[in-house]
Amino acid sequence: KLPPHFSYKSALVLLPPASLHPPIEDLRRKHDRNFHRWPPHINLIYPFLNQPSTSPETITPRIRDALCRITPIELRLTSAKHFLHSKSSATVWLNPEECQNLQANLQAAFSECDADQRGFTPHLSVGQARS
C-alpha cells in the first residue's frame, strides 16, 4: 500500500521531443496495449506525489534546482531489453543511456518519493510480449 502522499496516477517523466515520436509510436502502435493511454515517456520518479503537493508552484522550483546541477544530456535509445513479469509475460523496452545522473538529481530533490526498493532502471516501454 502506498503512503498517502504518493499516487500511481502521478509520475515525473521525461518526454522525448515530438519529432522523435513517429518511430517510437510505430513500435508502440503494434505492440503496446497502453499506446492510447499515454505518450512515449521515461519514468524518472514513479509513483510521484499526490495532489495538492503536485501543484506547479510547489514542484517547479524543485525540478529547476535539480536540473541546474547537471550538464545537458543527449539521450540515445541504444538497445532493446525486457522486464520479465512471469513465465509468460514481459515488457519490452528501449534502453536510454545517460539518464542515471538526471534521475538521481531529481530523486534527491524529491527524497520523500524514494519508496521503490527495486532501484531505477531507465526505460522507454514499447510493448508487451509473451515469453
pTM exceeds 0.85, yes or no: yes
Mean model confidence pLDDT for the chain: 89
The answer as to whether 75 is a domain residue is yes
Kindly give the pairing relationship between strand 42-45 and strand 12-14: antiparallel
Q: What is the mean pLDDT of residues 50-71?
A: 87
Residue 115: closest CA among 68, 49, 32, 59: 49
- Report the CATH number at residue 91: 3.90.1140.10
The answer as to whether 125 is a domain residue is yes
- Range of 50's domain? 6-129
The answer as to whether 56 is a domain residue is yes
Longest Cα–Cα distance in the chain? 45
- 87 versus 118: the higher-pLDDT residue is 87
pLDDT band at 61 (very low <50, low <70, confident <90, very high): very high
pLDDT computed for residue 116 by the predictor: 65
Q: How many domains does the chain have?
A: 1
The answer as to whether 115 is a domain residue is yes
> Which residues, in sequence order, are CB contacts of 77 under 8 Å at separation 6+?
94, 95, 96, 124
